[in-house]
Amino acid sequence: MNDTLLKLLQSVDTPTVCNAIEVAQGQRGFDQFTRGTMLCSDPEGGAIVGYARTAKIAALEPPSEAPDVIKARRMAYYKYMSEGPRPAITAVQDLDYPHCVGAFWGEINTTVHKGLGTNGALTNGVMRDLGDLPKGFPVVAGSIGPSHGFVHVREIDTEVQIFGLRIRNGDLVHADQHGALVIPPEVVDQLADAIHKLLDTEQLILEPARQTGFDFAAFETAWAAFEASRT
């Protein structure tokens, strides 16, 4: 992914990317996206775009392993997050879902992850410290809560599932207040053209609809042009 595509992806929302992938694929039916309502710590902060660094956590119960094992895994986790291709997004599955109680994503942890070079976090778990999270590090989460519970890392560099979306280490992820998706590798080279085509096509409907005097006849004409542009 080059810098031009990165900036373009950061400037558009996840529904636009979802539709653009179908434009690139030449058909409907793309399904690599989250299901259900997610929450974003900074809805105005733009999209998170990056290659996934994956892990699993839990917080409902204290860890059963020895403290030195938990500590070693924690340090291995942060080392792992500091490595790998950039831009990066941290994708963490909370194994307690749907009964998540421990906010892994608060002021300290988000600041550490930003410092280690990741662009944001995607989780089915909990976030907190809203208003104190660092700028430029959005969190898209399953819920908001006050406690960290017994949060601890369970697995590193493993396939995760977040709101129905399976994410593997290295997957290219786009996420914002609408949720997240994984961009198929085979469409990356076509994606910029597909986004521009989609945005141009949408204006065939949006521009007339915003004009004074827009009526069914104007809609019918605009829709015919819109349909023709998509075939």
The answer to whether the CB of 162 falls within 8 A of the CB of 38 is no
* pLDDT at position 230 over 80: no
Long-range contacts of 180-185 (CB under 8 A, 24+ apart): 180/14, 180/33, 180/34, 180/38, 180/122, 180/140, 181/14, 181/17, 181/18, 181/21, 181/30, 181/32, 181/33, 181/34, 182/32, 182/33, 182/52, 183/17, 183/21, 184/21, 184/25, 184/30, 184/32
pLDDT for position 229: 79
**What pLDDT, in 10s, does the model give residues 146-160?**
999 999 999 999 999
Phi, psi torsion values for 70, nearest 5 degrees: -65, -45
pLDDT (mean) for 194-200: 94
pLDDT (mean) for 190-200: 94
Alpha-carbon distances, residue 174 vs 91, 147, 191 (angstroms): 11, 28, 13
**What pLDDT, in 10s, does the model give residues 55-95?**
999 999 999 999 999 999 999 999 999 999 999 999 999 99
pLDDT for position 199: 93
> What domains are there in the chain, each with its CATH number?
31-183 (3.50.30.40), 189-229 (no CATH)
* DSSP secondary structure string for all residues of 163-192: TTEEE-TT-EEEEETTEEEEE-GGGHHHHH
Please, which pLDDT band fits residue 106 given cuts at 50, 70 and 90? very high
pLDDT for position 198: 92
Percent of all residues in the chain with a pLDDT value above 70, rounded to a whole number: 100
* pLDDT at position 52 over 80: yes
* pLDDT at position 8 over 80: yes
pLDDT (mean) for 210-218: 95
* pLDDT at position 231 over 60: no
Please, which pLDDT band fits residue 1 given cuts at 50, 70 and 90? confident
* pLDDT at position 96 over 70: yes
Q: Residue 142 is encoded by which pair of tokens?
A: 């399953």
Residue 183's DSSP bridge partners are 172
The answer to whether the CB of 153 falls within 8 A of the CB of 57 is yes
